[in-house]
Copies of this chain bind each other. A is one copy, B any other.
């Protein structure tokens, strides 16, 4: 077997184009293109010559040129508040895995939950000609979401959002998850069940679920037992302090996310009480940290990976023209994960 030397054009050497291949194989660029794409039949002998020329010259198609002509880039964008947040990292991973299988690459944009950055990135990726966008917006209810329509680019939203035609959604079943979590505390025998929520307006479904579970159990919903924690550990710590200062302090608390739940546990410990005996704690999301704290945190899964994967699926369907009807909504179930804290 003869050593076949692959040409490795140096950096400065001119790039080898489809025309070079054509010349080397003694055919036209058209034919080379057809061999490569298989869009039209090419005689076996010719095909062989072309394929050899491709190999010998080390030809690689210029994807940018292809994108220009075909008006498709095989790239999607995902816009998240912060890739450093494990939840969004996992979403992104699920998404990447789903679209990767269909040959799409993935852009990532961090908005820091700022509206203007979100807007800017949305325009940017559309101008860059991505084939689809996944938007994990915290700050919903924005009207700029019709931008994608400008180029007819499919958009999938994660979490709640306005009702736009043609914009698919993937949402966790927040309400049901919260119901389960609260019901778990009821079943455990807790009598005063508090809740620590996100910022006002956000994730209202989690509050609804909490309320429903209480009412189903014949309890009354007491607004004095609900405090805001701003999604953070520190916020959870402070909200819990406030809650614990009420006369008969709560003996259980449901937190709208795990970080706040961890903060709440901090407070309980600081007060010299123990979890779950004095106060039971349940979180939401099931981030990895939930298994790291002591006691380990009982929580409800927020299926991040699946959310990403479904978003990818919906997007791929729309991008490939497999689906062009009205908006679809995928609701993902949330599961209770009982651990030590409740």
Interface residues of A (CB under 8 A from B): 8-12, 15, 60-65, 67-68, 73, 75, 82-84, 86, 89-90, 92-93, 96-97, 105-110, 123-125, 127-129, 149-152, 262, 288-289, 292-294
8 further interface pairs, Cβ-Cβ under 8 Å (given A64-B128, A86-B86): A11-B150, A60-B123, A60-B150, A83-B93, A83-B96, A84-B93, A289-B289, A292-B292
Query: In the complex, A109 Cα to B262 Cα: how many Å?
Result: 32
Known contacts A12-B152, A294-B293; A92/B108 CB under 8 A: yes
**Is the CB–CB distance between B292 and A262 below 8 Å?**
yes
CA gap between A86 and B61 in the complex, in Å: 35
- Residues A11 and B84 in contact, CB atoms below 8 Å apart: no
Q: Are A127 and B60 in contact (CB under 8 A)?
A: yes
Contact for A83 among B64, B83, B107, CB less than 8 A: B83
* Chain A to chain B contacts (Cβ below 8 Å), 30 pairs: A9-B150, A10-B149, A11-B151, A60-B123, A60-B127, A60-B150, A61-B127, A62-B68, A62-B129, A63-B128, A64-B64, A64-B67, A64-B68, A64-B128, A64-B129, A65-B68, A75-B128, A83-B93, A83-B108, A84-B86, A92-B108, A96-B110, A106-B107, A107-B107, A288-B289, A289-B289, A292-B292, A293-B293, A293-B294, A294-B294
* Copies of this protein chain in the complex: 2
Task: List B contacts of A289 (CB < 8 A).
Answer: 288-289, 292
- Cα A11 to Cα B96 in complex, Å, equals 26
Chain B residues positioned under 8 Å from A149 (CB to CB): 10-11
A9 to B73, CA, bound (A): 21
A104 CB, nearest partner CB in chain B, Å = 11
Q: Which one of B68, B128, B150, B292 lies within 8 Å of A293 (CB-CB)?
A: B292
Residues of B within 8 A of A123 (CB): 60
Q: How far is the CB of A194 from chain B (nearest CB, A)?
A: 22
A334 to B320, CA, bound (A): 48
B contact residues around A288 at 8 Å (CB)? 289
* Of A63, A73, A90, most B-chain CB atoms within 10 Å: A63
CB of A303, distance to nearest CB on chain B (Å): 14
Complex Cα–Cα for A292 and B266 (A):
10
Listed from nearest, the 5 A-B pairs whose CB atoms lie closest are: A11-B152, A292-B292, A294-B294, A89-B89, A64-B129
- The answer for the CA separation of A13 and B65 in the assembled complex, in Å, is 23
| Closest B residue by C-beta to A262 | B292
Closest B residue to A72 by CB, please name it.
Answer: B64
* A9: chain B residues within 8 A (beta carbon): 150
- Specify which chain B residues have a CB less than 8 angstroms from the CB of A107 in the assembled complex: 75, 105-108
